[in-house]
Amino acid sequence: MSISRADFGTLPDGRKAELFTLTSPAGLVAKITNYGGRVTSIQTPDRMGNLGEITLGYDRLEPYLTDPYYLGATIGRYANRIGGAAFDLDGTTHNLLQNEGDTHLHGGDGFERKLWTAEIEHETLILRYASPNGEGGYPGNVDVTLHISWDTDVDLRIDYKASTNAPCPINLTNHTYFNLSHDIDVRGHTAIVNAREYLLTNEDSIPTGERKDVKNSALDLRGGAIIGHRFNSCALPEGYDHSYVIDGEGLRDAATVSTPDTGRSVTLLTTQPGLQFYTGYGLKGGAGRDGEIWPEFAGLCLEGQHHPDSPNHDHFPNTIIRPGETYTQTQIYRFKIS
């Protein structure tokens, strides 16, 4: 594997961002900037051997400064939503930044707009960010480290670690949008999600606390389905933006997405209990690299994570990290051709 680094632009305060290009032994390419810990590009071959772009992103720093879609971003301190933008911990109520109505989304003043420090060590890109006490409304100073590398020819691996000097919820993920097709529309992709259950949510997309069986519903993707064929269901008026409870424990296959026109597929392996599967209905006219315009459903996200609003649901898997403890997580994107 090889890693190169280059300038990626200047922030308004004069600091420099960098772009790192990670090339696997098989020639797959991932580009990552230390601004927001963002994956800006992944290129993989199609069945004809032609290397091509499979993610949504920008080719310059400037659009990322105002990007509303979290393109390729490292999300934290807490991925997804916290209802009422507040949680109680050890008898204290912590009020968080409201950035989606009354809801707290993706950490509020989140990691996606921070400049991370970067170094290369043993064919691994290491990104670090120190989140200060009070950022986004969260307690404690939190130190976060990402190790990013091609674990094999076709496995792009992200290992997350975090520690804190005060009790705090931590829930990190990556928010890359994939499109494996030659068509700028993912509704023709086939999706498999290895989950027997999903989380019921209210009108603000906040979990009610109840888990529901996917059986006999449009959300049952265990056997695979063409995404767009499910959109006519009354349960999916805008497509998928659902939190699944992934079967099993440890590092395992959470979901696979593929498309017949290129033969490409991507599988998400994660150690996290949940998956947010989002099919990009909020991409309405965004402009990406080379002037490309993104309509609705131009990309989809496979976000391995803890369940939304977990700090407010005692029966959900724990997300509270205390001093002396270490948050760890592994996420792998595995790329194949059929």
Q: For residue 269, which phi and psi values (nearest 5 degrees)?
A: -105, 135
Which string of b and e fits 194-219 if b means at least 16 CB within 10 Å?
A: bbbbbbebeeebbbeeebeebeeebb
Q: Which two tokens stand for residue 42?
A: 């992944």
Write out the DSSP string of 103-127.
Answer: BEETTSS-GGGSB-EEEEETTEEEE
Residue 325 among the catalytic residues: no
Contact 274, 244 (CB under 8 A): yes
H-helix segments, 190-285: none
Contact 96, 104 (CB under 8 A): yes
Q: Which residues face 117 on adjacent strands?
A: 128
Q: CA 170, CA 151: separation in Å to the nearest integer?
A: 25
Q: CA 2, CA 20: separation in Å to the nearest integer?
A: 10
Contact 14, 139 (CB under 8 A): no
Q: Which residues face 53 on adjacent strands?
A: 43
Write out the DSSP string of 18-56.
Answer: EEEEEE-TTS-EEEEETBTTEEEEEEEE-TTS-EEE-B-
Q: Which two tokens stand for residue 228?
A: 């767009």
Contact 172, 257 (CB under 8 A): no
User: Which of 189, 303, 306, 313 is the catalytic position?
Assistant: 303
Q: Which residues contact 122 (CB under 8 A, 6 or more apart)?
A: none
User: Which of 175, 242, 306, 313 is the catalytic position?
Assistant: 175
Q: CA 222, CA 220: separation in Å to the nearest integer?
A: 6
Residue 306 among the catalytic residues: no
Q: Is the peptide bond between 157 and the residue preceding it cis, with omega within 30 degrees of 0?
A: no
Q: Which two tokens stand for residue 318?
A: 């724990």
The residues carrying an active-site annotation are 175, 303
